Structure 1
Amino acid sequence: MKIISCTNNVSLSKDIAKKLGKKIVDTKITRFADGEVYVEINENMRGQDVFVIQSTSTPVNDSIMELLICVDALRRASAKSITAVLPYFAYARQDRKVTPRSPISAKLFANLLIGSGVNRILTMDLHANQIQGFFDIPVDNLFAAPTFVSHIKKYIKSKNIVCVAPDVGGVERARAIGKRLSADLAIIDKRRSGPGKSEVMNVIGNVKNKTCIIIDDLVDSGGTIVNAATALKNKGAKDVYAYVVHGVLTGEAVKKINKSKIKKFVISNSILNDKKIGRSAKFQIINVGTLLAEAIKRISISKSVSKLFK
């Protein structure tokens, strides 16, 4: 087994390699003056099972192209198998046509990965589970839920917890975590009052005097989750926490969250956010390197990955 790290989120790659007791393959990844990516692998890859780690977050398109070129280099170096490890899967929100003449970009990304020579995908908390069907190769979709549950049990001592889905699409995720915590479920019903106007939030479920934990797979601009926290507090919630797998955090997201009614905002390190967050006491980053390393180990020895979540 060989571990290769592309340049997006190198710290997570190093942590995964360390937990596996492996050294990251000596790889030279540079860019020409016009921005073209150049990859040179300085070790023999012939007959090896290779895991290429690349989180496809900002800069999204550069990260994707870097990954594809690295995979092409491995294929031409006669690697036995190539697994693309994507802690964050880009374009996952574009999984269907929402308007006429619009693309299905998640499917395009899947085609690019397969076309480059990838044999297997390992990712975490896909925004839409049906994206697995875009591939004709094995896809292992890991879940951060067990990591979140352990963290909640350790740091949130309240016995009156409600898991909150920020929208109808997130109900399954919130319910799964709520079941492990023996907690109730609440749902935020989002409705726009008009074109371009702010969202009206209605809370379905009893949250009065309870500790609310908003569960979401990703947060981008931060507007929805901040408004959800306000709606919960207005309904009498005692404290509001947020547990989010992928902290995309674009624009003023960090500033919004710092000013919000959220007591603690917990994200995984699937996306590198250290510089964005700075020294903010409201944010906490939890490591999913152990989860990814264990999944890689199981894939390499042909053991069940699904047993990680039973």
Structure 2
Amino acid sequence: MTVVASTVSDSAHVELLQLQDAAREAGADSVTTVLPYMGYARQDDSFESGQPVSARAVARAISTGTDRVVTVNPHELSVNEYFDVPATAVDAAGLLAAPFGDLTEPLFLAPDPGARPLAETVRDSYGRGELDHCEKTRHTDTEVDVEPCDAPVSGRDVVLVDDIVATGTTMSEAVAHLGRDASRVYVACVHPVLARDAYTRLQRAGVEAIYATDTVEHPVSQVSAAPAIAEVL
């Protein structure tokens, strides 16, 4: 039996554990848990003494009710190592190329070096375009410094790519550096958390459109991650 749940909140985590328990009680010989979006996945390390590793705690809890786990673009692949059962990571980034029509001299841009492979995947799926990344220094959840990329952007369509957009701070800073030189600026992400006023912030920054998968339900979730998940089930 397969249980599918995006754990976007604490209550969603509890509901997942209940679903797993119900699957066992229904007599399932084996349970596969699919996590399109795994909450707490970004909290994959402790930064101060005594601080919990939330991703590990959540993974261990989920492991008690399943025989296998499938995640979709976890923030770090190492998160899958926290599960006590076999875990497979699915890459849905390539699907994000589908909504884009004819882009003008496209530049696929990552907000930091860590997101560059995602931007490359989207670029390769689109079929053409240049690839580059910015440099990012995060001070707090809402304070980020982004250094502009080296590639010229004048008159070009720029696609900013990341695995997750939460507060929109990083993307907004990147858009600010692009200024009015770029023809159009798009944002593409796998997980559109878009907490608080993130969506409005990006619109005000001048983003032409935001495209995301449906791992998190949002009006910008125009791409289904199902084909990527189905390949490993």
Decide: shared fold, TM above 0.5. yes
Whether 2:114 is the aligned partner of 1:169: answer yes
Report 1:68-87 matches (<5 A): 68-87=17-36
Q: What is the CA–CA distance in structure 2 between the aligned matches of 1:252 and 1:158, rounded to whole Å?
A: 28
Whether 2:207 is the aligned partner of 1:262: answer yes
Which residue of the other structure, out of 52, 55, 60, is the alignment partner of 2:3? 52
Whether 2:90 is the aligned partner of 1:142: answer yes
Whether 2:153 is the aligned partner of 1:241: answer no
Q: Shift in Å at residue 238 of structure 1?
A: 2.2
Q: What is the CA–CA distance in structure 1 between the aligned matches of 2:140 and 2:72, rounded to whole Å?
A: 34
Q: Is this contact kept in 2: 1:91–1:105, CA < 8 A?
A: yes
Question: Would the alpha carbon gap of residues 267 and 179 (structure 1) be closer, same or farther in structure 2, given more than 3 Å must change?
Answer: closer
- The equivalent of 2:42 in structure 1 is 93
Q: Is this contact kept in 2: 1:233–1:239, CA < 8 A?
A: no
Q: Shift in Å at residue 71 of structure 1?
A: 0.8
Could you give the per-residue CA deviations for residues 98-153 of structure 1, whole angstroms, max 9, x where no partner exists? 222211111111100112x201112211111111211242222222222112333x
Task: Return the letter of the residue paired with 2:87.
Answer: V
Task: Return the letter of the residue paired with 1:121.
Answer: V
Q: Is this contact kept in 1: 2:73–2:92, CA < 8 A?
A: yes
Q: What is the CA–CA distance in structure 2 between the aligned matches of 1:73 and 1:139, rounded to whole Å?
A: 21
- The equivalent of 1:189 in structure 2 is 135
Report 1:81-230 matches (<5 A): 81-115=30-64, 117-152=65-100, 155=101, 157-180=102-125, 181-191=127-137, 198-209=143-154, 210-230=156-176
Task: Return the letter of the residue paired with 2:41.
Answer: A
Question: How many residue pairs end up in the alignment?
Answer: 231
Q: What secondary structure is seen at the aligned counterpart in 2 of 1:81?
A: coil
Q: Is this contact kept in 2: 1:52–1:82, CA < 8 A?
A: yes
Question: Would the alpha carbon gap of residues 261 and 83 (structure 1) be closer, same or farther in structure 2, given more than 3 Å must change?
Answer: same
Q: Is this contact kept in 2: 1:186–1:207, CA < 8 A?
A: no
Q: Is this contact kept in 2: 1:186–1:203, CA < 8 A?
A: no
Q: Which has the higher contact order (CA 8 A, sep 6+)?
A: 2
Q: Shift in Å at residue 164 of structure 1?
A: 0.7
Q: TM-score normalised to the size of structure 1?
A: 0.68
Q: What is the CA–CA distance in structure 2 between the aligned matches of 1:159 and 1:141, rounded to whole Å?
A: 33
Q: Which has the larger radius of gyration?
A: 1
Q: Is this contact kept in 2: 1:125–1:144, CA < 8 A?
A: yes
Q: Please provide the CA RMSD for this pair.
A: 2.2
Structure 1 ranges of 4+ moved more than 6 A: 194-197
Could you give the per-residue CA deviations for residues 205-242 of structure 1, whole angstroms, max 9, x where no partner exists? 213222111111111111211111111226x3222111
Q: What is the CA–CA distance in structure 2 between the aligned matches of 1:268 and 1:133, rounded to whole Å?
A: 24
Q: What secondary structure is seen at the aligned counterpart in 2 of 1:107?
A: helix
